[in-house]
């Protein structure tokens, strides 16, 4: 795996900043059925309590929780696809990042503040 230089990473920032702010495109869905495993999906099902169906988030727990239970704020990981395309290069390597949804959308805190205020729409 070739690592990019700081200059190469900085050269990609303008492309990342061009990510759409209002509507995004889902480029990849990855499920982690077991530790160290990745499964690319054509479609997935999200559950308010369990996260991505079939992902091991619910069973693996979290060291950030005093009781070792799954961390409720970490059930779904989303990454900007322009960032992973720059860093990982070949799309076959994207799934190794450990994120589940790869979106072409501005995911900055300014554009999408953290918290339960997101609204999702299913395509018709």
Would 121 be classed as within a structural domain?
A: no
**Within-domain flag for 25:** yes
Cα angle at 101 between 21 and 45, to 5 degrees? 115
Does residue 99 fall inside a structural domain? yes
How many distinct structural domains can be found in the chain?
1
Question: Domain range for residue 34?
Answer: 6-104
Over 80: is that where the pLDDT of 39 sits?
Answer: yes
In a domain, 111, yes or no: no
pLDDT in tens, 51-84: 899 998 888 888 889 998 888 878 888 999 999 9
124 lies in a domain?
Answer: no
Could you tell me the pTM of the whole model? 0.82
In a domain, 112, yes or no: no
The number of beta carbons lying within 10 Å of the beta carbon of residue 28 is 18
Tell me, yes or no, whether 54 lies in a domain.
yes
Q: Which two tokens stand for residue 97?
A: 């990042």
Q: Output the pLDDT for position 124.
A: 40
**Residue 99: DSSP 8-state:** -
């Amino acid at each position: 795996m070739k690592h990019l230089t700081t200059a190469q990473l900085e050269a990609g920032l303008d492309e990342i900043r061009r990510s759409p702010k209002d509507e995004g495109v889902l480029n990849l869905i990855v499920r982690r059925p077991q530790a160290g495993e990745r499964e690319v999906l054509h479609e997935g099902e999200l559950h308010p309590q369990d996260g991505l169906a079939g992902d091991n988030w619910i069973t693996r727990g979290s060291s950030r929780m005093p009781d070792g239970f799954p961390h409720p704020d970490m059930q779904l990981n989303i990454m900007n696809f322009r960032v992973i395309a720059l860093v990982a290069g070949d799309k076959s390597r994207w799934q190794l990042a450990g994120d589940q949804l790869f979106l072409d959308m501005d995911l900055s805190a300014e554009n999408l503040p953290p918290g339960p205020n997101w609204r999702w729409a299913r395509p018709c």
